[in-house]
C-alpha cells in the first residue's frame, strides 16, 4: 500500500506558516521581535466556552509557546469584575486540563497550564467604554512585553441577537491601528433563521466588520473526518475522480444520527428544529466538500470559496416533496415541562428529517444526495457515504462477496462509544492512498457495516483526533478562511433550505418512539420526484404549495366525484390531483403516463402544471388525447398549443413527449398513423394510461369522439381516425377501449357556454351515440372538474 504523507506535509506547512507569522527568520536580524495576539472570549463562562473553548485555547497556547508566540487572553461577560473573576477562575481550574491536551509538548504541562492561567484575565464587557478601555490595553500589553501586535481576536460565544452591538463596539474601538495586525471575529451559529433573517444579520454585521474579518464557525469543519474529505479526494484523484460523478455514483448519503434528545435546549431547539440546527449548516458543508470540484489549490481560501460557491449555486432549492419529517414521541411533554408551557401547547418542530436534494451540474445531474439527521435515533453515527453503481455480473456464486458486492466509500466522522473517524473503501474499488499515520486498527471486526462485511473494506483511522474546536481555533489563527463560512455561501445555503422550511410550516411531523424502537417507521425512499416514508400511515399524499389556499368544493356529479368552484380554483385542484397522482404512480410503478386533450379549456391547466416547479417531469410521459390532422406549425394543432403552453416551460426529456404522428401537411390522417400511435401506447404504457384529462364539447363530444360517429363502436383499437361533422376535418382520437382502461380519467369543463350540455348529462344518462362523454366509464369512475359557470350558469 502506498502511504503518503500529505496530511503530514499540511501540518508542516501550517507550522511553517505559524512560524512565518511570528518570526521573520533572517540572518540579518538574529533576534526576532516576539509577537503577541490578544484573544477575547465574549461569553467566557457559557456552556460552549466551558466545554470546548478554554481547552482549545490552551492547546493553541501550548503550541504557540513552543515557537515563542504569546497569547494574552481575556474572558468577558456582562457580570461585574468581582463576581466574574471568581467564576472564571473556577471554570478555568476545572476545564483546562493537561490530560486533554492534543498537541505534543516538550516541557512540563503543569507549568504550561500555570502560565496559561496567569495569562487569562477577566473583563466585564457591557458598555461601549469598556470595549474602548480593553482595546486600548492591547497596544500597551504589546509594548510592555516588547512584542509586536500580531492580531486581535474576538470569539463571540453569545446568542446571535447580541452580535450586532458587539460588532459595533469592536468595529468602533478595537480595529488595530498598526499595519500587519489583524482583527478577527469568530461567530457561532445560528446565523439567522432563514434567508431573510440571515441577510439582515449579515447586513448589520457588515456595517461594522469586513467580511474577511468574520470567521463564522461550523464545528463540523473542524472534525478530522470532515476536514480530510478534500485532501482525500485530492490524494486519490487518479483513482476516484473519474468515477466521482453521475455515471458511476448511484447516490450519496450524508448522515448525522444522535441518540440524545433535546433536554436542556428546548428554548433554542423549538425555534430551530433539525433542519436549521444541523442540515442547513453541518450537513450542507459536508455535501459541499464531497460534491464540489477540487480547487486548484485546496489550501487557498479564494480557490476553495470559488469552487464551493459554484457548487452551491447549482443545488436545486428543496421543496416539501423532497423531505420527510418526524418528531420523537416524548418531545411535546418534555418541551412543556422544560419551558413551563400549558398542557395544550403543541409544537410542529421536527427532530428528524430525511431530505433528497439534487445538483444541476454536469457532474451530478440526477444523482440523489440523501441528507438525514435526527435526535433520539437508534445510535450515534455520522458519515458521508458514496454508493457506486454496481453493474458487474459475477458468474460464480461466491462472486457476491467480491467484485459484485456493494461498491462504496464511507467517510465516517464519528459514532457510538467515541468511535474514531474512519475511512472505509470497498475492496472492489481501487485501494486508496491514505495519509501518513492513519492505521487500519479497528473496532468492527466481524461486523456488518453499510450492508457489507467489515472485512470487505480497506479501512483507516487517524492517529489522534484533535477536537473540532481546537482544530478550528488553530485554523482561524492561521487565517484559513476556507474552513469557515463566508457570507455568500451562507446566503446560498439559506436559499437552498428556505423554500423547504416555508413549505413545511403547518406540516405535522410523523411521530416516532425514539431509540431502537424506531424500527422501520422513519425509513424512506428517495426518488427524483419525491421522498416518502416507506410505511404508509394516515398522512396525506404529497401536497403542494397550493393545497392550503384552494377554495374549491367537492360533491358528486352523475354519482361520481365532482370538484366545483371558480374556474381558477377548479383548475388548480385538477393540477394538484394530477400532481398527487404522478407522485403516487412514480413511487409505485416508476413512471407516469399522462394524456392531455387539446382545445381552449385545458390551456390554463397547462399553465398551472408548468408552474409546479416540483412536478416530476423526468419520470412523466405526455401523450395526446386527440389531434387535428394539420402540421405542428398550424395554429389548430393541439400539439402546438401543448408545446406553447406547457412543454416549452418544463424540463422534460424529449423522449417522454409523444405527439400524435402528424408529420408534414396532411389533408386527412390515415389508418397507418392511428396504428402507429396505438402500438406506441401499448408498448410504453402496457395499455394503461395513469391519467387522462378530457374536455367536453357543447355537443357532448369528448376527445374527438363525435356524436353518431362509427368510432364510438370501436371496441379494440386504442386510436382511430375520426371526422369532425361540423367542418368535415379529420382527426386522430383515443377511443373508448383506451379511455376506459385508464387508471384515472378527469373531465374538465369550464365556461358559461357549457351550461346546457352539463345540464343534459347531469341526470346520469348514458347515451354514448348522442352524448359520447357519457360512454367514458373507467373502473375508478370519472372525476369531474366543472367550474361554477358551467355548472349553474
According to DSSP, residue 100 is labeled: G
What distances in angstroms separate CA 629 from CA 272, 635, 641, 704, one per listed residue?
A: 58, 12, 14, 12
Residue with cell 463560512: 485
Return the H-helix or E-strand segment holding 124. Answer: strand 120-124
Q: Judged by CB, which is closer to ligand BG6: 275, or 705?
A: 275
Q: Judged by CB, which is closer to ligand BG6: 382, or 602?
A: 382
Return the H-helix or E-strand segment holding 237. Answer: helix 237-240
Shortest Cβ distance from residue 382 to ligand BG6 (Å)? 6
Shortest Cβ distance from residue 476 to ligand BG6 (Å)? 17
Q: Judged by CB, which is closer to ligand BG6: 283, or 315?
A: 283
Catalytic site positions: 282
Taking the CA atoms of residue 168, residue 174, residue 175 and residue 177 in that order, the dihedral angle to the nearest 10 degrees is 150
Residue with cell 492561567: 117
Shortest Cβ distance from residue 361 to ligand BG6 (Å)? 28
C-alpha cell at 447: 461486523
Query: Which string of x and - marks every residue 213-252 that binds ligand BG6 (by CB under 6 A)?
Result: ----------------------------------------
Instruction: Give CA–CA dist 597/150, Å, rounded.
Output: 73
Residue 165: how many other CB atoms lie within 10 Å: 13
Shortest Cβ distance from residue 277 to ligand BG6 (Å)? 5
Query: Across-strand partners of 42?
Result: 76, 156
Among 40, 166, 278, 500, binds ligand BG6 (CB under 6 A): 278
Q: Does 261 bind ligand BG6 (CB under 6 A)?
A: no
Instruction: Give CA–CA dist 405/387, Å, rounded.
Output: 11
- SS3 call for 389: coil
C-alpha cell at 489: 455561501
Q: Which residues contact 270 (CB under 8 A, 6 or more apart)?
A: 262, 335, 339, 347, 349
3-state secondary structure 721-788: EEECCCCCCEEEEECHHHHCCCCCEEEEECCHHHHHHHHHHCCCCCCCCCCHHHHCCCCCCEEEEECH
C-alpha cell at 617: 417531469
Site size with ligand BG6, rule: CB under 6 A: 4
Residue with cell 348529462: 761
Among 253, 261, 277, 307, binds ligand BG6 (CB under 6 A): 277
237 close to 294: Cβ distance less than 8 angstroms: yes
Shortest Cβ distance from residue 354 to ligand BG6 (Å)? 17
Q: Judged by CB, which is closer to ligand BG6: 277, or 678?
A: 277
Q: How many residues appear in the chain? A: 793
Shortest Cβ distance from residue 584 to ligand BG6 (Å)? 35
Any alpha helices (H) in 478-601, and if so which ranges? 487-504, 567-589
Shortest Cβ distance from residue 260 to ligand BG6 (Å)? 6
Shortest Cβ distance from residue 281 to ligand BG6 (Å)? 7
What distances in angstroms separate CA 667 from CA 433, 598, 628, 629, one per listed residue?
A: 69, 19, 10, 7
Closest alpha carbon to 749 in 722, 717, 783, 715: 783
Shortest Cβ distance from residue 377 to ligand BG6 (Å)? 11
Q: Judged by CB, which is closer to ligand BG6: 277, or 714?
A: 277
C-alpha cell at 731: 382527426
Query: Across-strand partners of 16?
Result: none
Q: Judged by CB, which is closer to ligand BG6: 382, or 462?
A: 382
Q: Judged by CB, which is closer to ligand BG6: 377, or 567?
A: 377
Residues in 573-612 that interact with ligand BG6 by CB under 6 A = none
- SS3 call for 72: strand
Q: Judged by CB, which is closer to ligand BG6: 171, or 382?
A: 382
What distances in angstroms separate CA 734 from CA 48, 258, 596, 730, one per listed residue?
A: 68, 55, 11, 14
Q: Judged by CB, which is closer to ligand BG6: 246, or 265?
A: 265
Residues in 370-409 that interact with ligand BG6 by CB under 6 A = 382
Nearest residue to ligand BG6, scored by beta-carbon proximity: 277
Distance of CA 716 to the CA centre of its chain: 49
Q: Judged by CB, which is closer to ligand BG6: 51, or 127?
A: 51
Q: What angle do CA 655, 599, 785 make, to 5 degrees?
A: 95
Taking the CA atoms of residue 92, residue 94, residue 99 and residue 105 in that order, the dihedral angle to the nearest 10 degrees is 20
Shortest Cβ distance from residue 533 to ligand BG6 (Å)? 23
Q: Does 188 bind ligand BG6 (CB under 6 A)?
A: no
Instruction: Give CA–CA dist 240/232, Å, rounded.
Output: 10
Shortest Cβ distance from residue 520 to ligand BG6 (Å)? 24
Q: Judged by CB, which is closer to ligand BG6: 53, or 595?
A: 53
Instruction: Give CA–CA dist 158/48, Å, rounded.
Output: 9
What distances in angstroms separate CA 472 from CA 299, 481, 507, one per listed residue?
A: 14, 10, 37
Q: Does 258 bind ligand BG6 (CB under 6 A)?
A: yes
Provide the binding-site residues for ligand BG6, judged by CB under 6 A. 258, 277-278, 382
Amino acid at each position: 500500500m502506498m502511504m503518503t504523507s500529505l496530511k503530514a506535509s499540511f501540518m508542516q506547512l501550517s507550522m511553517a506558516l505559524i512560524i512565518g507569522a511570528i518570526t521573520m527568520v533572517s540572518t540579518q536580524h538574529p533576534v526576532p521581535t516576539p509577537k503577541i495576539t490578544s484573544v477575547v472570549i465574549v461569553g467566557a463562562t457559557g456552556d460552549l466556552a466551558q466545554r470546548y473553548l478554554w481547552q482549545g485555547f490552551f492547546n493553541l497556547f501550548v503550541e504557540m509557546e513552543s515557537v515563542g508566540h504569546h497569547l494574552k487572553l481575556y474572558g468577558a461577560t456582562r457580570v461585574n469584575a468581582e463576581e466574574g473573576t471568581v467564576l472564571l477562575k473556577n471554570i478555568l481550574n476545572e476545564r483546562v486540563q493537561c490530560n486533554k491536551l492534543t498537541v505534543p509538548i516538550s516541557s512540563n504541562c503543569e507549568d504550561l497550564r500555570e502560565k496559561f492561567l496567569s495569562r487569562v484575565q477577566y473583563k466585564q464587557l457591557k458598555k461601549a467604554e469598556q470595549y474602548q478601555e480593553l482595546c486600548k490595553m492591547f497596544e500597551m500589553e504589546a509594548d510592555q512585553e516588547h512584542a509586536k501586535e500580531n492580531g486581535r481576536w474576538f470569539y463571540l460565544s453569545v446568542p446571535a441577537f447580541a452580535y450586532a452591538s458587539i460588532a459595533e463596539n469592536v468595529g468602533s474601538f478595537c480595529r488595530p491601528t498598526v499595519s500587519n495586525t489583524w482583527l478577527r471575529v469568530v461567530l457561532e451559529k445560528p446565523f439567522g433563521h432563514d434567508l431573510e433573517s440571515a441577510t439582515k444579520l449579515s447586513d448589520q454585521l457588515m456595517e461594522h466588520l469586513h467580511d474577511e474579518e468574520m470567521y463564522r464557525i461550523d464545528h463540523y469543519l473542524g472534525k478530522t473526518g470532515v476536514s480530510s474529505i478534500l485532501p482525500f479526494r485530492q490524494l486519490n484523484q487518479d483513482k476516484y475522480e473519474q468515477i466521482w460523478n453521475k455515471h458511476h455514483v448511484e447516490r450519496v448519503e450524508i448522515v448525522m444520527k444522535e441518540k440524545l434528545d433535546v433536554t436542556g435546549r428546548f428554548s433554542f431547539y423549538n425555534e430551530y428544529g433539525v433542519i436549521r440546527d444541523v442540515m442547513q449548516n453541518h450537513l450542507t458543508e459536508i455535501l459541499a466538500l464531497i460534491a464540489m470540484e477540487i480547487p486548484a489549490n485546496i489550501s487557498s481560501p479564494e480557490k476553495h470559496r470559488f469552487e464551493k460557491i459554484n457548487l452551491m449555486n447549482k443545488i436545486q432549492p428543496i421543496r416539501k416533496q423532497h423531505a420527510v419529517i418526524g418528531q420523537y414521541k416524548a418531545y411535546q411533554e418534555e418541551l412543556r415541562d422544560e419551558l413551563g408551557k400549558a398542557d395544550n401547547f403543541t409544537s410542529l418542530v421536527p427532530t428528524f428529517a430525511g431530505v433528497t436534494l439534487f445538483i444541476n451540474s454536469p457532474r451530478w445531474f440526477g444523482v440523489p444526495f440523501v441528507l438525514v439527521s435526527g435526535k433520539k435515533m437508534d445510535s450515534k453515527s455520522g458519515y458521508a457515504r458514496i454508493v457506486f453503481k454496481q453493474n458487474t455480473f459475477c458468474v460464480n456464486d461466491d462472486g457476491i462477496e467480491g467484485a459484485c458486492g456493494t461498491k462504496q466509500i464511507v467517510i465516517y466522522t464519528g459514532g457510538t462509544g467515541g468511535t474514531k473517524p474512519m475511512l472505509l473503501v470497498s475492496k472492489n474499488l481501487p485501494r486508496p492512498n491514505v495519509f501518513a499515520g492513519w492505521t487500519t486498527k479497528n473496532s468492527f471486526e466481524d461486523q456488518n457495516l453499510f450492508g457489507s462485511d467489515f472485512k470487505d473494506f480497506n479501512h483507516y483511522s487517524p492517529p489522534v483526533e484533535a477536537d473540532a474546536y481546537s482544530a478550528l481555533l488553530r485554523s482561524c489563527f492561521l487565517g484559513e478562511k476556507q474552513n469557515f463560512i463566508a457570507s455568500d455561501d451562507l446566503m446560498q445555503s439559506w436559499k437552498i433550505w428556505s423554500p423547504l422550511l416555508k413549505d413545511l410550516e403547518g406540516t405535522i411531523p410523523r411521530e416516532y418512539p425514539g431509540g431502537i424502537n424506531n424500527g422501520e417507521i422513519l425509513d424512506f425512499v428517495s426518488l427524483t420526484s419525491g421522498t416518502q416514508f416507506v410505511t404508509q400511515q394516515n398522512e396525506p399524499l404529497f401536497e403542494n404549495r397550493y393545497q392550503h389556499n384552494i377554495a374549491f368544493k367537492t360533491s358528486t356529479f352523475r354519482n361520481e366525484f365532482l370538484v366545483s368552484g371558480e374556474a381558477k380554483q377548479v383548475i388548480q385542484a385538477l393540477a394538484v390531483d394530477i400532481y398527487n397522482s404522478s407522485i403516487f404512480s412514480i413511487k409505485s410503478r416508476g413512471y407516469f403516463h399522462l394524456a392531455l386533450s387539446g382545445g381552449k379549456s385545458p390551456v390554463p391547466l397547462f399553465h398551472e402544471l408548468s408552474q409546479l416547479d416540483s412536478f416530476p417531469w423526468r419520470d412523466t410521459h405526455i401523450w395526446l388525447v386527440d389531434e387535428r390532422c394539420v402540421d405542428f406549425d398550424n395554429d389548430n394543432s393541439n400539439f402546438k398549443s401543448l408545446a406553447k403552453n406547457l412543454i416549452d416551460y418544463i424540463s422534460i426529456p424529449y423522449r417522454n413527449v409523444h405527439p400524435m404522428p402528424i408529420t408534414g401537411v396532411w389533408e386527412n390522417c390515415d389508418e397507418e398513423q392511428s396504428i402507429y400511435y396505438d402500438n406506441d401506447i401499448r408498448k410504453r404504457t402496457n395499455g394503461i394510461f395513469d391519467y387522462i384529462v378530457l374536455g367536453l364539447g357543447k355537443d357532448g363530444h369528448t376527445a374527438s369522439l363525435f356524436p353518431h360517429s362509427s368510432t364510438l363502436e370501436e371496441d379494440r383499437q386504442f386510436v382511430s381516425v375520426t371526422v369532425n361533422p361540423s367542418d368535415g376535418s379529420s382527426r386522430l382520437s383515443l377511443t373508448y377501449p383506451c379511455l376506459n382502461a385508464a387508471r384515472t380519467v378527469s373531465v374538465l369543463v369550464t365556461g358559461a357556454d357549457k351550461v346546457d350540455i352539463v345540464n343534459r348529462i347531469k341526470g346520469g344518462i348514458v347515451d354514448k351515440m348522442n352524448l359520447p362523454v357519457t360512454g367514458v366509464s373507467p373502473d375508478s369512475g370519472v372525476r369531474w372538474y366543472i367550474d361554477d359557470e358551467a355548472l349553474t350558469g
